[in-house]
Amino acid sequence: MTPQDVLAQPFTLPNGVVVKNRICKSAMSETLGDSAGAPTAQLAHLYQAWADGGVGLCVTGNVMIDHRALGEPGNVVIEDARHMAALKAWAKAATSNQTQCWVQLNHPGKQSPKGLNAQTVAPSAVPFRPDLQAFFATPRELTAAQVLELIDRFGRAAAVVKKAGFTGVQIHGAHGYLVSQFLSPLHNLRSDDWGGTPEKRRRFVLAVYRAMREAVGAGFPIGIKLNSADFQRGGFSEEESLDTVRALADAGIDLIEISGGTYEAPAMTGVKTRDEPAKASTRQRESYFLAFAEKARKVVKTPLVVTGGFRTAAGMAQAIRSGAVDMVGLARALAMEPDLPNRLLEGKEPVYQVKPITTGIKAIDKMGILEINWYTGQLKRIGNGQPPRPRESGLWVIAKLAWHMVFIGKKRLPNKLRAG
């Protein structure tokens, strides 16, 4: 079989849901919600472009479950059915052309820029490393009652997603957000029922899954994006991740997408960190996390997806042929070429290769937020009917972000304080 033949094969999930091909668009934060947290017309336009572009499974950017806890300005928020009309319009566009579209539900925990929310919360009051503390505040530790409230919020949001017409949901359990924080012994220092041992650190994600399953029923797909590791000393390890994979598989999760890293160690972007330098074997096999997927495949039969690093149709096809994964995840490449799946299925290669976005400022270049905002800008262009700008300057993107955050902060100040 040619690489395009491999990628074109349909895939049937254990619950019977069929994905038309093996290409998954992984989540990227679009920040195309309005001031009330509703999806805008630009989101429908963007997801129509991806549906027309041929992707089989499309996972949305992180949708927040609490308006008090945004990860970036412009997040869509689902707390109830108040934005149902806009959600249905988004879902209709996103699921056209027989596309599966799942909404990624998320809570940022402490991983939210200073000034965006009134306060940040997390499993424990653990600050960011010193060079990032100017950008991220030390969080307040969640009470046990607040932990239970957040679990309920995940379930309610999942029910709304199903009613709106999306075809599945994904838990964001990676990249240093709240679920990932609960799993990490570095960020979760609790000694109650939600921390202290690996088993207790896993209780939150399993409770979130159960709340969502109760809300949507057995036939509606629920997936998770999970770190293979945090790539931070003392953080979530491969061993704990494999145990989490087993626990989620036993609970009945429908699909596990494997990634890795956090804002402090952004391995998901391919950026070298002091804890995890890029390896020659990784470069050769393209995917950053395929070796972990091979380990996971040995312990579970749950469908697996790996995202990060794929550059060629041959590399994607080989990952599937190996049996380690059932689908391949693409993200940043689809921000530069929204029709890339159709090109791959026609036997063509990407026009642009994904490369790290840099500014020349080491402290900023280490942060995952630079990559996120550069690609978010490309998504906004597509949503506005404009072509992407694959060569846009990273420094220019950071300058725009800084101005925007200052502007948002000024808007929130009382009138009598703005002049000062």
Per-residue pLDDT tens for 345-354? 999 999 988 8
Work out the number of other CB atoms within 10 angstroms of the CB of residue 177: 25
* Cβ–Cβ under 8 Å, residues 155 and 214: yes
pLDDT of residue 360: 77
* Cβ–Cβ under 8 Å, residues 222 and 213: yes
Where would I find the H helices in 9-166?
Answer: 41-52, 84-94, 144-164
Angle at 344 between CA 338 and CA 346, to 5 degrees: 115
Q: What is the pLDDT of residues 144-202, one digit of tens each?
A: 999 999 999 999 999 999 999 999 999 999 989 999 999 999 999 999 999 999 999 99
Handedness of CA 160, 162, 166, 168 (dihedral sign): positive
pLDDT of residue 371: 77
- 262 band by pLDDT with thresholds 50, 70 and 90: low
**Domains in the chain with CATH codes:** 3-356 (3.20.20.70)
179-183, 235-239, 251-255: segment of lowest average pLDDT: 235-239
Q: What's the CA gap between 98 and 333, in Å, rounded?
A: 21
pLDDT of residue 287: 67
pLDDT of residue 365: 73
pLDDT of residue 265: 53
DSSP bridge partners of 259: 227
Residue 415: pLDDT above 50? no
* Cβ–Cβ under 8 Å, residues 100 and 47: no
Q: What is the pLDDT of residues 71-123, one digit of tens each?
A: 999 999 999 999 999 999 999 999 999 999 999 999 999 999 999 999 999 99
Q: What's the CA gap between 69 and 6, in Å, rounded?
A: 41
Handedness of CA 228, 301, 256, 211 (dihedral sign): negative
Provide the terminal-to-terminal Cα distance of the chain, rounded to the nearest Å: 68
Report the candidate in 278, 269, 164 with the shortest Cα–Cα distance to residue 220: 164
Q: What's the CA gap between 301 and 101, in Å, rounded?
A: 23
Work out the number of other CB atoms within 10 angstroms of the CB of residue 197: 10
Q: Percentage of the chain surpassing pLDDT 90?
A: 72
Angle at 219 between CA 218 and CA 225, to 5 degrees: 85
| Cα distances (angstroms) measured from residue 380 to each of 47, 155, 160, 372, 406 | 11, 29, 25, 12, 20
pLDDT of residue 232: 66
6-15, 23-32, 320-329, 366-375: segment of lowest average pLDDT: 366-375
Average pLDDT over residues 231-239: 78
DSSP 130: G
Report the candidate in 86, 85, 67, 62 with the shortest Cα–Cα distance to residue 177: 62
Average pLDDT over residues 293-308: 95
Q: What is the pLDDT of residues 7-53, one digit of tens each?
A: 999 999 999 999 999 999 999 999 999 999 999 999 999 999 999 99
Q: What's the CA gap between 66 and 154, in Å, rounded?
A: 9
State residue 377 phi and psi, 5-degree precision: -60, -35
Q: What is the pTM of this model?
A: 0.88
Q: In 132-143, which positions are buried (b, 16+ CB within 10 angstroms) versus exposed (e)?
A: eeebbbebeebe
Residue 362: pLDDT above 80? no
Residue 273: pLDDT above 50? no
Instruction: Compare 216 and 411 and report the one with higher pLDDT.
Output: 216
* Cβ–Cβ under 8 Å, residues 232 and 186: yes
